[in-house]
Structure formats: structure tokens, C-alpha cells
């Protein structure tokens, strides 16, 4: 009898997992081009959110949640648009709320469903780069640096962190602090575009691009050094 119950639970889990993977795949295919199209022009995004009236801030937060959970959606467009529409303070605040809720969902999806399901949702090559974090309890500093350095796939890292032994509250604290400089920078760009302070907007954007390119092209070196540092710590 107990064996029957166990098999029943197993099949329910497998069926639920399969349904979840299919839903996520469909949402990714449908929502990614739509959200990119809506958010790439801050004024168009502003007009779109205006249709929600007093709920425009909530609608923006939903966009932020989706761009974290659906890792294929680039978050930069949404974050810059947040500063353009709501200003630096509220643009940053709403972005923080959105990415924290999105990160919480992604983190616990990974923690509850495990690496096999995550491998189905995300590119396996991307996950392989960060697998050294999964089996260590001393990953906090490395996770902080990975989220702080521009040019690394932040949303994929959230799923990887969910597979690691890091405590949820500790992770969310690290995640928030590490993401703040980038979120503030994006809001500053958006707010200055709205105010037509193009010199400031272009200057901050140029610095952001340089940091992103530096992180992007040096990502393999950075990952190698962080992994080496981690291996030495473990030994």
C-alpha cells in the first residue's frame, strides 16, 4: 500500500514537473518578444503603463518579476524605462521590489524542483559555468561578486543560487545589495532621458556599457579566478 502511495506521489511530481516545464517554455516563447518590444522604447512603455491608471506601478513591478523568472528577457530595458517613467527613487524602488519577488520565485523553483528541471529551463552551458557553487556552503562572497560584476547572466545565477546550500534570507540580502548599483544606474539613465539631460544620460550609459563590456569579455577569466579561489578555500 505504501509503495502504491509512493508511486502515485512520484507520478504526480513528474506530471507536475512536465506541466511546469511546458508552461514555462510557452511563456518564454510568447512573452519574451512581446515584453522586449513594449519596453525597448521608454515612452511607448510609459504610454502602455498609463493605461493601467493607478495600477501602473504594480504593472511595472509585474514586468520586472517576469524578466527575472523568464531569464531570456533582458532586464536593462525595463529598468531604464522605470527611471524614465517614475524617476530615480521610485524607478529604483519598484525595480527592487520586482526583482526581489522574481528572484524569490526563481530561487524556490530551483530549490524545490532541482537541477534536472532547471537544466530543462535554462541553457545547460550557462549553468555548467556556475555548478561549482552548488556543492559549497562558502559561496556567499562569490555569489555577491557574480551579481555585482556587469556582463554576467544575473537571472540564470538566481536559479543556480537556488540549487546551492545558501540560506534564502542571506541570499536575498546579498542579491539586493549587489544589484543596487546597476538598478540605480539604469534609473538615472531613464530619468535623465525623460528630463532631456542627454549629456548625463549618455555619460552614465557610456560608463555602464564599458563596465558591461569589461565584465562580458573578462567573464571567463573572472569565473576561472573565482572558481580557483573557491577550490583553494575548500581544500
What is the reported pTM? 0.82
Q: Above 80 in pLDDT, residue 220?
A: no
Rounded mean pLDDT, 175-188: 93
Which residue would you say has higher pLDDT here, 222 or 39? 39
Tell me the CA distances in angstroms from 72 to 35, 68, 76, one per residue in order: 11, 9, 12
Confidence grade of residue 71 (pLDDT, cut at 50, 70, 90): confident
Neighbour tally for 15: CB within 10 Å: 10
pLDDT digits (tens, 9 = 90+) for 222-234: 777 766 665 555 5
pLDDT of residue 92: 95
Q: Output the CA torsion sign for 116, 118, 121, 126.
A: negative
pLDDT of residue 189: 94
Q: Contact 135/109 with Cβ under 8 angstroms?
A: no
CA distance 32 to 26: 10
Q: Contact 158/178 with Cβ under 8 angstroms?
A: no
Confidence grade of residue 12 (pLDDT, cut at 50, 70, 90): low
Which residue would you say has higher pLDDT here, 87 or 161? 87
The domain locations on the chain are 2-234
**Lowest-confidence range among 8-17, 56-65, 111-120, 158-167?**
8-17
Report, in angstroms and rounded to the nearest whole number, the Rg of the chain calculated over CA atoms.
19
Cell numbers for 45: 512603455
pLDDT of residue 4: 47
Q: Above 80 in pLDDT, residue 89?
A: yes
pLDDT of residue 42: 86
Confidence grade of residue 5 (pLDDT, cut at 50, 70, 90): low
Most confident of 36-45, 135-144, 154-163, 183-192: 183-192
pLDDT, the chain, mean: 82
**Lowest-confidence range among 126-130, 176-180, 199-203, 231-235?**
231-235
pLDDT of residue 65: 92
Amino acid at each position: 500500500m505504501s509503495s502504491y502511495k509512493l508511486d502515485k506521489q512520484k507520478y504526480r511530481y513528474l506530471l507536475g514537473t512536465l506541466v511546469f516545464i511546458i508552461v514555462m517554455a510557452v511563456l518564454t516563447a510568447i512573452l519574451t518578444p512581446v515584453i522586449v518590444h513594449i519596453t525597448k522604447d521608454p515612452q511607448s512603455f510609459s504610454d502602455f503603463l498609463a493605461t493601467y491608471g493607478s495600477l501602473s506601478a504594480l504593472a511595472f513591478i509585474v514586468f520586472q518579476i517576469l524578466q527575472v523568472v523568464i531569464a531570456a528577457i533582458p532586464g536593462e530595458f525595463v529598468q531604464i524605462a522605470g527611471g524614465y517613467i517614475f524617476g530615480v527613487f521610485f524607478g529604483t524602488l519598484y525595480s527592487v521590489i520586482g526583482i526581489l519577488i522574481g528572484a524569490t520565485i526563481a530561487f524556490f523553483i530551483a530549490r524545490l524542483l532541482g537541477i534536472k528541471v532547471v537544466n530543462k529551463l535554462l541553457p545547460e552551458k550557462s549553468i555548467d559555468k556556475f555548478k561549482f557553487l552548488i556543492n559549497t556552503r562558502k559561496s556567499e562572497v562569490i555569489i555577491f561578486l557574480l551579481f555585482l560584476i556587469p556582463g554576467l547572466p544575473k537571472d540564470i545565477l538566481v536559479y543556480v543560487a537556488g540549487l546551492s546550500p545558501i540560506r534564502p534570507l542571506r541570499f536575498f540580502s546579498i542579491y539586493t545589495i549587489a544589484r543596487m548599483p546597476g538598478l540605480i544606474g539604469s534609473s538615472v539613465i531613464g530619468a535623465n532621458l525623460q528630463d532631456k539631460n542627454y549629456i548625463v544620460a549618455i555619460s552614465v550609459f557610456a560608463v555602464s556599457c564599458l563596465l558591461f563590456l569589461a565584465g562580458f569579455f573578462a567573464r571567463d577569466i573572472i569565473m576561472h579566478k573565482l572558481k580557483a579561489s573557491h577550490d583553494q578555500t575548500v581544500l
